[in-house]
Structure 1
Amino acid sequence: MPFVQTNGINFYYEERGSSSAEPLLLIMGITAPGSVWEPHASYWQTDFWCIIGDNRGVGLSDKPVGPYSTAQMADDYAGLLDALQIEKVSVVGCSMGSTIAQQLAIRHPEKVKSLVLMCPWARCDNAAKAIFQHMMHCKARFRPEEFSLYIQQLIYSKASWDNEQVALDLEEGRKSAAIDPFPQPLHGLEGQAAACINHNALPDLLSVQQPTLVIGGKEDIFTPVWMAEEVTGAIPNAELYLYEKSGHIFHFEQLDDFNPRVKKWLLSH
């Protein structure tokens, strides 16, 4: 299994596609290992060399006691790029991954060619901070399948819950969470949540000159539309696209449109 030493931790990553193609770094969100990218990476790998990491605190990467910061986690990825001898990369970041991507562009601008920021935020208001605090409380007290249900309620739209097949799939997901052989430890989630709560890149986003696509769902209750709009307004070369009847996990709810849309945008930027 591929690991690199970066920023003081053992960092797990995987690759999809040919290393002769344009590199594409994929950064996932809170609680999630890099394997969640699979439905997207399996599509994009025909055109890109996809590099997928497990963020510190989850998956097979090290899980030191936190708190973590988004700047620290961006430096984790900068070390990964150096280890792979990648000078410049397009970056797609989802949720917490979008905050890490912002910091990568701010702290290591020479490494970033373009950005796709999925359901992002530049700063947390009190409501967002409360969500992350409640997430930690639920993780500490709930069985894994109960915690999975809470996360599902945060990220799926009403349209998904109203679809009986999707509802059955979500139930199966909760059953899988109960027997996950590599569950995220509480301290790993706490470290990531601290990074999310304390992320405030708004004053620095003006310095991000790379072309940026901000993309999300209009019914996202986790990171509401105002957050995506604020990020778009703060980055000089950013454009915004929002899906109707879609939540935080719009990229699964709108998979058939999302994958080719992002591929087309990346190929032209």
Structure 2
Amino acid sequence: MPHTKTSDEVRIAYQVRGDGPPLVLLAGQANDHHWWDGVRDDFTASRSTITIDYRGTGESDKPHQPYSTERFADDVVAVLDELAVDRTDVYGTSMGGRVAQCLALHHSHRLRALVLGCTSPGGQHGIERSSEVRRSLVQPNPVDARQALLQLMYTPAWLATHPGPYYTLGDQSMPTYARRGHLVASNRHDAWDALPAILAPTLVLHGTEDLLNPTANAPLLAARIPGARLELIQGARHTYFEERRDLASPLVLEFLDQKVPLQ
């Protein structure tokens, strides 16, 4: 698997598949590129998809140091530099949507269009998950905690017909310190004040039944980012992009092709 080295000497693994204009796909917290395995083929026919293993995950280095969404965004830029990609579309989901916000704010000249899925502006203006949801995820029995996460990710109907494997439940190979670092990075993200400065055409997507990252964050983001378009996927939970790929993937491609015509 190819790697590049960042300015602080961390090796970041990346993956490129498909042909066409570049599209960076950014995974959720404590996940590697496999987060996208269920839907990546939706984009590779018309796009050159680029994923990374965040530092701390997958085949990337796992430094024992503070992590942040800004640092993750810088790592994405290091991969773009390695691939000689000047500008790209970016689709980030969950914590990946927070990283995508940092890319749009701190590296705006590298973006053509932006899609933010099941994510939040963070900080005091972001809508936090309920205390009940938080408690369900830290149950002492790991089997119960995993089941709680599955039910937040997918609807019962989907789980009944899709026995797995599931690629959105976290990279099990992560050391504990890196998993904790990802949690802190996501929790400390706060882009609220800067969001009006995003210049890239933006699509905001969210499932209407998302309790892990409450749906109320979607209209907040869309209202805060100039000209942003909001689309809600009815009945979907956190992994709307996988369970309702029949709706979500065409929405993303239609938006990107409209806002940024294929070259």
- Residues 176-195 of structure 1 aligned to structure 2 (within 5 Å): 183-195=173-185
2:218 partner SS = helix
Over residues 24-62 of structure 1, what are the superposed CA-to-partner deviations in whole Å (9 max), with x where a residue is unaligned?
001000122112212322121111110011112211112
Inter-partner Cα distance in structure 1 for 2:12 and 2:26 = 13
Are the structure 2 counterparts of residues 134 and 82 from structure 1 closer, same or farther at C-alpha, using a change threshold of 3 Å? Answer: farther
Q: Secondary structure at the match of 2:195?
A: helix
* Local SS of the residue matching 2:90: strand
Alignment TM-score, normalising by the size of structure 2: 0.88
- The structure with the greater share of residues assigned to helix is 1
Name the residue aligned to 1:153.
151
> What is the CA–CA distance in structure 2 between the aligned matches of 1:129 and 1:220, rounded to whole Å?
11
Query: TM-score, normalized by length of structure 1?
Result: 0.86
Partner of 2:190: 200
Aligned to 1:248: 238
The alignment status of 1:218 with 2:219, answered yes or no, reads no
State the match for 1:209 in structure 2: 199
Q: Is the 8 A contact 2:123 2:192 kept in 1?
A: no
Specify the alignment match of 1:3 in structure 2: 3
Q: Is 1:59–1:182's contact at 8 Å kept on the other side of the alignment?
A: no
The alpha-carbon deviation at position 252 of structure 1 amounts to 1.5
- Mapped partners of 2:56, 2:133: distance in 1: 15
Counterpart of 2:250? 260
**Displacement of 1:130:** 6.3
Name the residue aligned to 1:14: 15
Residue 184 of structure 1: how far off its partner (Å) = 2.3
Structure 2 residue corresponding to 1:229, chosen from 203, 211, 219: 219
Taking the aligned partners of 2:132 and 2:72, their CA distance within structure 1 comes to: 21
Classify 1:168/1:40 alpha carbon distance in 2 versus 1 (closer, same or farther; 3 Å).
Answer: closer
Identity value in percent: 29
Unaligned runs of 5+ in 2: none
Relative to structure 2, which stretch is displaced further, 66-75 or 208-217? 66-75
1:59 corresponds to which residue? 58
The root-mean-square deviation of aligned C-alpha atoms, in Å, is 2.5
Mean CA deviation greater in 254-263 or 214-223: 254-263
* Aligned-partner residue type, residue 5 of structure 1: K
Unaligned runs of 5+ in 1: none
Q: CA deviation at 1:253?
A: 1.7
